[in-house]
Amino acid sequence: MSKIVFISTLERTEQQQWMTLLTKLLPDETIVLPEMFSVAEADQVDIAIVANPDPSILQQFENLVWVQSLWAGVEALVPSISQHNQQLEKSKQLQLVRLLDPQMAATMAEAVLAWTLYLHRNMPQYATQQRQKLWQQLPCATAQDTRVTVLGAGELGLASIQALLQQNYTVSCWSRSQKNIAGVHNYCSLQQLPEALANTDILINLLPLTTATKGLLNKPLLANLPSGAKLINFSRGPVVDHPALLELLDSGQISHAVLDVFEQEPLAEASRLWQHPQITVLPHISAPTNMNTAARVVADNITQYRRNQTLPTTVNLGQGY
């Protein structure tokens, strides 16, 4: 009988919570930690549920068909699975499935709206003014006159765009493939990106980290933003060139940045980003995985696969997302 391995670098208690929940939702399945398998039993494993797994442990399960990530971002898994597949013929290639949870999209949309309002309604400046006991009213454009551009129009981007539209913002987005979203100007391709930025007051990054997006938001590109524009980075730290961002904040080209994600997490104590008056640092909280809803998504994926061998939507390993 086929078995499932749970591979993670999570703390013991969290790992146990996942295992208990998944076992309850999938009573007919055997879900076991890697150390519990004998070599013979390891051959019976066809699905791995993973959270930041050690790639060498994944390699021990030679008959794996697919890997279900408990996170939406899979940039850390793509290289090891692609490398693993190099030795396998096409029909035996390991597939990667990332977490697609509507609750996560709703949570991200809520965060995008909250921090867009924070920037639009000048909250960082008013917090500074209060510390200075300064009574000063700042100009504030209407939502309709505030141009918000969302980079990435996928699971999280699309939900965020809808939340921004409901609040009357003027919304644009940028994606690889053309989108047709009512009320939203869609920019496509690298060529159109400078124009998208030139028409942006608040830029929101929801692009996955891939070889194409690493360092994408660099100085020449961000310099297209109008003077005083604002940035929110909710996807992955390395999409933004942080030294370039600091230069642009210091010059006033960008007036404030809300950063939830960083190259190194937790952010190093010595990082300049902590202290900068025009940066709001968040500890990777914009859309955490919700254990209850995510476990249900994973259980449904596995049930469907057992029923008719249909794989959930898989990651395009070549594109990296």
State which of positions 99-138 bind ligand NAP (CB under 6 A).
104
Closest approach of ligand NAP to the CB of residue 38, in Å: 36
Element (H, E) at 187: strand 185-188
For residues 150 and 200, the answer to whether their CB atoms sit within 8 Å is no
Please say if 284 is a catalytic residue.
Answer: yes
DSSP string covering 118-162: HHHTTHHHHHHHHHTT---PPP---STT-EEEEE--SHHHHHHHH
If binding is defined by CB under 6 A, does position 154 make contact with ligand NAP?
A: yes
Whats the size of the chain, residue-wise?
321
Given a contact cutoff of 8 angstroms between Cβ atoms, the answer to whether 226 and 201 are in contact is yes
Classify each residue of 198-214 as buried b or exposed e, where b means 16 or more C-beta atoms within 10 Å of its C-beta.
ebbbbbbbbbbbbeebe
Candidate ranges 77-85, 129-137, 170-178, 297-305; the one touching ligand NAP (CB under 6 A): 170-178
Please report whether residue 242 would count as binding ligand NAP according to CB under 6 A: no
241-268 as b/e, with b when 16 or more CB fall inside 10 Å? Answer: bbebbbebbeeebbbbbbbbbbeeeebe
Options 234, 240, 241, 242; binder of ligand NAP; rule CB under 6 A? 234
Among 94, 163, 196, 207, binds ligand NAP (CB under 6 A): 207
The site that binds ligand NAP (CB under 6 A) totals a number of residues, namely: 29
Q: Is 260 in the site for ligand NAP (CB under 6 A)?
A: yes
Which CB sits closer to ligand NAP, 34 or 312?
312
| Active-site residue identified among 236, 256, 306, 307 | 236
- Does position 235 interact with ligand NAP (CB under 6 A)? The reply is yes
Catalytically annotated residue among 185, 276, 284, 306: 284
- Contact (Cβ atoms closer than 8 angstroms) between residue 205 and residue 238: no
- Site for ligand NAP contains 69 (CB under 6 A): no
Residue 312, interface with ligand NAP (CB under 6 A)?
no
- The answer to whether 120 is a known catalytic residue is no
How far apart are alpha carbons 227 and 186 in whole angstroms? 22
Q: Which stretch binds ligand NAP (CB under 6 A): 37-45, 123-131, 147-155, 267-275?
A: 147-155
State the Cα torsion 140-141-142-146 to the nearest 10°.
-130
Active site residues: 236, 284
Per CB under 6 A, residues contacting ligand NAP are: 72-73, 104, 152-157, 175-177, 206-210, 212-213, 234-236, 260-261, 284, 286-288, 321
